[in-house]
Structure 1
Amino acid sequence: MPTEQTLRVRSAIQTFLHDRLQDKLSKLAIDDPKRVALEAQFQPATWLQDAARRVKQIQAVTHALKPIHPDARGTNLYRTPTQLPQHELVGSHSLAGNFSSDVVGNAAALDVYKFLKIDIDGISLLDLLLAGDDAALHALSDDEQQAKEWASAFISLTQERGAGISSHARAKQLYWMVGSDASADEDYHLLAPLYATSLAHAVYQDVQEARFGEANKQARAARREGKMHDGVFRDYPQLAVQKLGGTKPQNISQLNSERGGNNYLLASLPPSWRSRLRAPWGIRSVIDEVLLHREGVRAGIQALLDFLLTDPPANTETRRQVDEHVAGLIDDLVLMAAELQREWAQAYGETWTADARCKLVAAEQLWLNPQRAQHDEEFNAQWQAMDWPAQIGHRFGNWLNAQLAGKLPVGEAEHRQWQKELLLDEGEGGWASTLHSARTANAAPQYIPSRKGNAP
């Protein structure tokens, strides 16, 4: 007596056969004599016998050779994600249990694969047979021996075909270095890569959802209109599409046919950095108006403030910790200057400080636009005079005191200390070493004059 599960599987099989038969009959006239032959052909026992024979013409795969070259003949592999080595890089193993197996071979036999993909409570008929499910086995036939023969034939869909693993002259190959001697043949493995068709299908589905899915459409519209949105917007810029199979994508594989031959290639490009630096016009002082807005600067000031508010003892360790906090802020200042010198000269020309829109104080013009000294004799003379570095130090001391004022009693002594730490910063890439390199390059005096008077 068939079990309830057997009857459910058998019903699913009958529904599949009935639907395919009706699709074919709908194309024939009522009195067409071919209708009788078709109805006989789609009797369950007859169709299953034929399917068990034709299944040898196709193979279930997760890694296929034909997408590499349409005329390549060699081994295809069926490896579930759990059978693959697990590592941190994205690959077929990342699909876990949510993957689509593909099928290659004679396109005329693809209906057998569709049959084996019949869904029974979220599990395919093929997976049930692979798991040795008794209900699925008995659903094929009341004759147990016959059912086992058919099941064995259907299961062979996932097995490697041929006498052994082989490649082909038209398959791609590459030498992968596994040793340390590039001149030694034995330090290479010869690899024959296969197309990860299950992974390609998962990527295609994800990109399609991002491009045309309703949820992402709403997120895209909100982003375009500058509106708040609870969802996440996903985008794949600079996509390329590789067409496989031409006008007959089914000749490559079943999944390739479902994609219409389209296979997405993600952009493989170095990052194109877009400067977040603002235009120089209208700024009187980058120390006062730009530095504080750089990433990490506010946090650095807060860390210094938090430490000083603990009222640490006046000893060497306290001085060391204060110096470390201030050194971090000096690093930010030096990095900012390097970026501004490069970016503004590239964007606005090497004499950008001569533009009437530039409102920077004279010392900061000399600091941030050294390129102008090569084109402007008067500007070069001011740069060579080398009194502007002390003015930058004075401005930095004023700025840092202003950040701490109101929370700590800071004054002239602290100001002198901050200025001194900037001007004597001899670390690699620090203020003093950077300035020394600039002075050498421009044959300027090798000293920083003491600052006199107030900075402009």
Structure 2
Amino acid sequence: MPPTLTPRAAALRALITDFIRQRRDDKLNKLAPDDDAKREALLANYQPTTWLSNLVQRALEVQFVTHLLKATHPDIKITEATNLYCYPNKLPPHQEVGSHLLGPTFNNDLTGNAAISSAFYKFLEQKFDGKALLELATSRDSDFAAALSNDSELSQKWLEIFATLQQPRINLASHSRAKQVYWLVGYEPAKDEHYHLLAPLYPSALAQRLYQTIQEHRFGEAAKAARQARREQRDHPHGYCDYPQLAVQKLGGTKPQNISQLNSERKGNNYLLASLPPQWQSLGLKPPLNTEDALLRFGRRNDVRRLVRQLRVFLESQPPQNKDAQDRRDDLGNALLEELLLFGKEMHEGLPPGWSADTRCRLPEYQQLWLDPWRADADADFAARWHGEDWPQEVAKRFGRWLNQQFDASPLEMGDAEFRHWARELAGDLGWQAQHDQTRRQLAAMAKEQA
């Protein structure tokens, strides 16, 4: 005679029975009406005791985790390397965002044999009185044990198997396909024992919380309503969140279930927030006043100094007279020309037209014409001189002299030949010509509008 169940145990058994029946019915509905053989086999396999027995026999093929290794490489089996289940409240606290901040409510993940992962996960993640069946198993709940089988010895055995699903299937070990970092903790870099092997694991529970949060912020009804209010310029009780430069990492390819259960539910999508250094907030571009040469400011730009230094080192190495050396010199020279074009473009776009008319501007006229072209829109005399076309040659010559001067402290001897070379390079540069032509067309269009 079967033992008498407590009301709580009876409710748990009903939950288990309904779950198994639902899975059975889902499969029965997919069978052809005349497929009696498969129907009989399904009915037999989905008897509660049979189904549970088949399930626990494969328990060693899966593991509940919060930090998994298969996200690093999908071919790593759970019997070959260590995955971990770590309760967030037992992790050491840090100032940085991490799994330790998840709190008591977090998502379990399951990895291992993808063919049976879904059955294990959905069965043990069922909630009873606010607790998952997995939690009841790990706490050795007697009513849960009684609900599993009328055979008390068998039910206790199954309970223990379910309770160990969080435990690694192998002693602590990394894998040749995993990410590994050897971290020096001693004083002898040549000795292996002075290193710790760090094997980063993927924080699956944290990734799931991040995914759920971003999904809600992007596609939740509250966020949609707030965005709609903004488009319609209406008041709204709350704002919404945006995630600039959000990236998505696909794990598992066409088979995300091979990574883990949660990864399968996300269809392999794992969000990556932009990891960028803070942007320097400058006080704004200032016109080159109180100086007689704008190229002095140009020469102080970090990228310009770096390129000049690279060109000096290259030329001082006395490179051979061959095509590779010539190409290297030309590449550095072209990069400097691009920086000069960028310098001019920043002045054109970042400064108000007519800034060169300021009494503090001591730049030579050809540099005023170069860096303040939109002054021509309101200054007829300036426009006439701009269209005179002589000033671009003066800019090219000054660039050649400036670049020669950068080698004054070098043993290199730079003379008229080098000066003419640098000047010709700028004068003949297609980018320089295109920038000048575009400015001329814009000035002509402005003049036509005023006519």
Band the TM-score falls in, shorter-chain normalisation: 0.5 to 0.7
Structure 2 counterparts to residues 13-412 of structure 1, below 5 A:
13-33=16-36, 34-72=38-76, 73-110=80-117, 111-162=119-170, 164-176=171-183, 188-273=195-280, 347-349=346-348, 352=351, 355-356=353-354, 366=360, 372-375=361-364
1: CA distance, partners of 2:350 / 2:147: 84
Partner SS, residue 64 of structure 2: strand
2: CA distance, partners of 1:243 / 1:136: 38
Asked if the contact 1:345/1:351 (under 8 Å) is kept, the reply is: no
Question: What letter is aligned with 1:213?
Answer: G
- Relative to structure 1, the CA distance from residue 352 to residue 88 in structure 2 (aligned partners, 3 Å threshold; closer, same or farther) is closer
2: CA distance, partners of 1:5 / 1:237: 50
Partner of 2:7: 4
1: CA distance, partners of 2:12 / 2:18: 10
Asked if the contact 2:138/2:164 (under 8 Å) is kept, the reply is: no
- Relative to structure 1, the CA distance from residue 156 to residue 226 in structure 2 (aligned partners, 3 Å threshold; closer, same or farther) is same
Partner SS, residue 175 of structure 1: strand
Which structure 2 residue ranges, 5 or more long, are not aligned? 288-342, 369-451
| Alignment RMSD (CA, Å) | 3.1
Deviation per residue, 1:90-140 (Å, 9 max, x gap): 111111112111111111112122111111122111101111222111111
Cα offset for 1:177? Answer: 5.2
Deviation per residue, 1:167-207 (Å, 9 max, x gap): 11111111345579989977653211111111111111111
Asked if the contact 1:201/1:255 (under 8 Å) is kept, the reply is: yes
Question: What letter is aligned with 2:60?
Answer: K
- Relative to structure 1, the CA distance from residue 107 to residue 91 in structure 2 (aligned partners, 3 Å threshold; closer, same or farther) is same
Deviation per residue, 1:259-312 (Å, 9 max, x gap): 1011111111123456686999xxxxxxxxxxxxxxxxxxxxxxxxxxxxxxxx
- Relative to structure 1, the CA distance from residue 350 to residue 88 in structure 2 (aligned partners, 3 Å threshold; closer, same or farther) is closer
1: CA distance, partners of 2:129 / 2:267: 28
Partner of 1:437: none
Aligned length: 305
Asked if the contact 2:110/2:261 (under 8 Å) is kept, the reply is: yes
With structure 1 as the length reference, what TM-score do the two structures score? 0.61
With structure 2 as the length reference, what TM-score do the two structures score? 0.61
- Percentage of pairs with the same residue: 49
2: CA distance, partners of 1:9 / 1:95: 28
Cα offset for 1:224? Answer: 3.8
